[in-house]
Structure 1
Amino acid sequence: MSKQNGFNWWNRPAGGREVLALSLPLIISTSFWAISWFFDRLFLTWYDNQAMAASMPAGMLHWTIVCLPSGVASYVNTFVAQYYGAGQQRRIGHVVGQGVWFAILCLPLFALLVPLSPYIFAGASQNPVQVKFQTLYFQSLLFGAPAMVISNALSAFYTGRGKTGLVMAVNIAGSSVDLFLDYAMVFGKFGFPAWGIIGAGISTGIGHWFNVIVFAVLMLRRVEWKEYGLADSLRFDWPLMSRLLWFGLPSGLPMLIESFGFALLTRFITGIGDVEGAATSLAFNVNAVAFVPVIGLGIGVSTLVGQYLGENKEELAARSTWTGLQFALGFSALFAAAYWFVPDWFIYFHERGASASEFGKVRDLTIVLLRFVAVYCLFDATQMTFVSALKGAGDTRFVLYAAVALTAVFIVGGRVAEMYLHFGVMGWWYVMTAWIFAMAVVYLLRFLHGGWRKMRVIEPELVGK
């Protein structure tokens, strides 16, 4: 292990210890999201194989709808990190308040989608049961959509300042509430009605609202209320809101575009057949075990990049990114090996509770698809790390342009190829793998270009003061 000025890779600034100390609670937090997601799909597999197949396209469409508001609200984290690095604590509460205002402004959109849901899913499948399940699951998920956006804004108050342990505790508690209610509401246990796929969506929403309540109560503490300007947090500030939207919308739009692309992809696959749809849904569910924790690591990287840029320490911001990439690739490589060599470990519980006659074909196809996951999860970890760094600096417009171009190329190109070549489910998984590889390469090259080093999201006159 090399040393410089008495520091080694582990204990130097922006080294392994600092990145891991900030990111580990976030990794654990997002791991609990993955666990909740995993068991949600597991319970639906036990409940009805068609419910499991329906959960993927409906869940993807829900995320497509909510990811833009969530992306903007989450971008509050970058503002908090840069204000914190620049020593502008009283601006922190104010920008958090603008994130909450943005969530409130999104409420009519979520309310409107409830009555429109049957029309959205009409024709999504030739199987009327699939259409019904997709509609019901999407409507039930909308109950928690506002809470997801508000929670992202409120949690940024802590993550942007590096207080990630508290966020971990809240998210673990919320995920635990979700997990308990998920089982109870799907199967009608502990006095709850057996709501099936509706119960799976409602329980997720209750978990999100639980987080909102806990964060709101924690922020009422007097010391934080005074030091971080929380007394003025709910005052609408158009100049600051417009600044949040200027950087936050290009941060959230790539999530919307890519999610829409994945929603189309899963819809194309589901249209091929129930087995292909269920296997794809199960493979994505298993992939979440490796994918979602890297989201937590990415938030940690973005936070450190923002804090160091707020202090005008560009080299340490870059070092944080490379250190984070090493953790992301190491973590993903472990799961890649497991997906390739012991895939049965990840589908054992799904198989135990499902009908053997229905699940056999789903299991065989899922094992094949997990080998695709084993390959692309390394590229996914790479692109997520560099995107997090670019967003932490404020380079959100490049991320937006790249997302538009890459999504158009691979989804439109894949659809045209499928029409002429009829390559089926395997062809779509090759398209998806190539798409993620291309994202990794593009964002790596942008990071190496270095233009992000001079970018800031906070007011220029406040940087480094």
Structure 2
Amino acid sequence: MYQTNSLQEKAKQFTYILIPILITQLGLFSMNFFDTIMSGQYSTADLAGVAIGSSLWAPVFTGLTGILLSITPIVAQLIGAKKNKEVPFTVIQGVYVAIIMALIIVCVGFFILDPILNAMNIEDEVRRIARNYLIALSLGIVPLFVYNVLRSFIDALGFTRVSMLITLLSLPINVAFNYVLIFGKLGLPALGGVGAGVASAITYWLIALISIYIVHTKKPFKDYNLFNRLYGIALSKWKEILIIGIPIGFSIFFETSIFSAVTIFMSTFSTEIVAAHQAAINFSSFLYMIPLSISMALTIVVGFEVGGKRMKDAMQYSWMGISAAVIVSVLLGIALLFLREQVASIYANDPVVIDLAVQFLFFAVLFTLSDAIQAPVQGALRGYKDVNITFLMTLISYWVIGLPSGWVLSNYTALEYFGYWVGLIAGLTAGAATLSVRLILLQKKQLKIKTVQR
């Protein structure tokens, strides 16, 4: 990554960083995407079971790995400030934090998984599939969290193509294991949706091991000598990682958990409705990978410019990324509006599920624009290490506005289960508006401080 002097140079560097991130995110998401559609092809109960399991796992995973995303702005600012010698110590402390968090979540899950599933009004077979899917998935949590730290380090250096290649190597392996384990090929028993969990755990180990090999043996990563010495635990560095990371993690958790909460609330409806809802959520999440990738790229480039105290450049990158996200998401939303039936048919064979999914996808189109704004804005704010106010804004937007309004609309209007989706739209829109205001005020403040210093 290098300092740029014009909008054209910024666009070129931003695109160079963004495209591999996007491919990486699409690749990682495709694991869940193939889990869902391949389980749906096995049976509706397996689709619903994986839907429930994914809904419980997604906010935990994204929230905790969001904490580890603090490595990206920390390292990016160290590089921007030319403090390269501090990088390996920071990354290894992040690995320690990742391992501890992974072990804690496995232990907590051991005690609370059954009570949560037993409290849900779902069919016994769906409950069994969801439980065993999550147990299988838990076997890969430690390497998955370690991978996320190493990926943050790789991306912060601007070598996002390396993360892309790791993901592209692992994706076909994941699909192959899905096929063998879900449908019972090569003499193995057919595990259905549970097989998808086993396949994902195997894949998580592979991407962690590949990442460790690359970081240890390939330039420029090996120049940082991450694994050449054993660093002691430094609680002061853990504190820095967590002070920045916890608000990021909670912000992401509040956003993703509202979707999971909606799925759990909707478990009171039929298995067909749960399956159709999950299909629509899964595909809209697929489209969300674009603004999310732009968000991650913005954290890198904005963090680099802020570290070098180039506030005008940081502002230009911010609005370049937000504009790109809005344009692309609008175009994709229009396309989805006309292709809803074809998309729904990917997920299920049941005509009832397909018809319901088509209706849910209409609402998915409506919140693509809000997603296209709020995700990149959050990424830019993280580049500034501005995370605490963002955390409060997401809490209010999603859990004070979004979920309660959805519950009211679902239970007290004719919208029924569609009411939850209207609530999601309201929460995302509120988040997009408030976060945008926060970014504008922060940038004005930073430019004013820079002017005074001159």
Q: TM-score, normalized by length of structure 2?
A: 0.91
Per the alignment, in what secondary structure is the counterpart of residue 450 of structure 1? helix
Change (3 A) 1:453 1:169: farther
Structure 1 residues 105-138: Cα deviation after superposition (integer angstroms, max 9, x where no partner)? 1213313413542222003124222222221222
Aligned-residue offset at 1:392: 1.5
Return the alpha-carbon distance in structure 2 between the equivalents of residues 130 and 205 of structure 1. Answer: 21
Superposition map of 1:11-160 within 5 A: 11-12=8-9, 14=10, 16-106=11-101, 107-114=103-110, 116-160=112-156
Structure 2, gaps ≥5 residues long = 448-454
For the aligned residues, what is the CA RMSD?
2.2
Change (3 A) 1:222 1:52: closer
Confirm whether residue 263 of structure 1 aligns to residue 260 of structure 2.
yes
Confirm whether residue 450 of structure 1 aligns to residue 442 of structure 2.
yes
Structure 1, gaps ≥5 residues long = 456-465
Aligned-residue offset at 1:349: 3.0
Q: What is aligned with 2:249? A: 252
Change (3 A) 1:93 1:210: same
Letter in 2 for 1:216: I
Structure 1 residues 162-194: Cα deviation after superposition (integer angstroms, max 9, x where no partner)? 011111000111222211111111011234432
Letter in 1 for 2:389: F
Are the counterparts in 2 of residues 185 and 195 from structure 1 also a CA contact under 8 Å? yes
Structure 1 residues 32-51: Cα deviation after superposition (integer angstroms, max 9, x where no partner)? 12332222111111111011
Are the counterparts in 2 of residues 376 and 437 from structure 1 also a CA contact under 8 Å? yes
The one of 363, 371, 381 equivalent to 2:362 is 371
Are the counterparts in 2 of residues 90 and 227 from structure 1 also a CA contact under 8 Å? no
Letter in 2 for 1:79: I
Letter in 2 for 1:81: A
The one of 280, 289, 294 equivalent to 2:291 is 294
Return the alpha-carbon distance in structure 2 between the equivalents of residues 311 and 289 of structure 1. Answer: 34
Q: What is aligned with 2:326? A: 329
Are the counterparts in 1 of residues 409 and 416 from structure 2 also a CA contact under 8 Å? no
Aligned-residue offset at 1:298: 1.4
The one of 174, 177, 183 equivalent to 1:187 is 183
Deviates more, 1:197-206 or 1:267-276: 267-276
Q: What is aligned with 2:373? A: 382
Change (3 A) 1:451 1:229: farther
Return the alpha-carbon distance in structure 2 between the equivalents of residues 27 and 350 of structure 1. Answer: 23
Structure 1 residues 386-436: Cα deviation after superposition (integer angstroms, max 9, x where no partner)? 001111211110111112212332223433454444641111111111111
Return the alpha-carbon distance in structure 2 between the equivalents of residues 300 and 286 of structure 1. Answer: 22
Aligned-residue offset at 1:453: 6.4
Are the counterparts in 1 of residues 273 and 356 from structure 2 also a CA contact under 8 Å? yes
Change (3 A) 1:30 1:416: same
Are the counterparts in 1 of residues 410 and 418 from structure 2 also a CA contact under 8 Å? no
Change (3 A) 1:272 1:159: same
What percent of counterpart residues are identical?
Answer: 21
Return the alpha-carbon distance in structure 1 between the equivalents of residues 72 and 445 of structure 2. Answer: 18
Confirm whether residue 237 of structure 1 aligns to residue 234 of structure 2.
yes
Return the alpha-carbon distance in structure 1 between the equivalents of residues 407 and 309 of structure 2. Answer: 46
Aligned-residue offset at 1:81: 0.7
Change (3 A) 1:414 1:229: same
Change (3 A) 1:256 1:181: same
Change (3 A) 1:170 1:233: farther
Are the counterparts in 2 of residues 309 and 453 from structure 1 also a CA contact under 8 Å? no
Letter in 2 for 1:412: P
Structure 1 residues 330-364: Cα deviation after superposition (integer angstroms, max 9, x where no partner)? 2212320121012133233334xx3xxxx111111
Return the alpha-carbon distance in structure 2 between the equivalents of residues 296 and 191 of structure 1. Answer: 40
Return the alpha-carbon distance in structure 2 between the equivalents of residues 198 and 321 of structure 1. Answer: 42
Confirm whether residue 431 of structure 1 aligns to residue 423 of structure 2.
yes
Change (3 A) 1:232 1:251: farther
Per the alignment, in what secondary structure is the counterpart of residue 216 of structure 2? coil
Return the alpha-carbon distance in structure 2 between the equivalents of residues 37 and 105 of structure 1. Answer: 25
Are the counterparts in 2 of residues 97 and 235 from structure 1 also a CA contact under 8 Å? no
Return the alpha-carbon distance in structure 2 between the equivalents of residues 95 and 267 of structure 1. Answer: 38
Letter in 2 for 1:139: I
Letter in 1 for 2:70: Y
Return the alpha-carbon distance in structure 2 between the equivalents of residues 6 and 99 of structure 1. Answer: 33
Structure 1 residues 242-298: Cα deviation after superposition (integer angstroms, max 9, x where no partner)? 111111111101222333322211111221222221111000121133112332221
How many corresponding residue pairs? Answer: 441
Return the alpha-carbon distance in structure 2 between the equivalents of residues 448 and 263 of structure 1. Answer: 31
Return the alpha-carbon distance in structure 2 between the equivalents of residues 139 and 6 of structure 1. Answer: 51
Confirm whether residue 402 of structure 1 aligns to residue 397 of structure 2.
no
Letter in 1 for 2:129: F
Q: TM-score, normalized by length of structure 1?
A: 0.89
Are the counterparts in 2 of residues 65 and 256 from structure 1 also a CA contact under 8 Å? yes
Q: What is aligned with 2:336? A: 339
Letter in 1 for 2:326: L
Letter in 2 for 1:156: S
Are the counterparts in 1 of residues 215 and 222 from structure 2 also a CA contact under 8 Å? no
Are the counterparts in 2 of residues 114 and 142 from structure 1 also a CA contact under 8 Å? no
Return the alpha-carbon distance in structure 2 between the equivalents of residues 253 and 171 of structure 1. Answer: 26
Q: What is aligned with 1:178? A: 174
Letter in 1 for 2:174: D
Confirm whether residue 198 of structure 1 aligns to residue 190 of structure 2.
no
Question: Relative contact order (alpha carbons < 8 A, sep ≥ 6): 1 or 2 greater?
Answer: 1
Per the alignment, in what secondary structure is the counterpart of residue 220 of structure 1? helix
Q: What is aligned with 1:461? A: none
Q: What is aligned with 1:361? A: 352
Are the counterparts in 2 of residues 141 and 202 from structure 1 also a CA contact under 8 Å? yes
Deviant stretches of 4+, over 6 Å: none
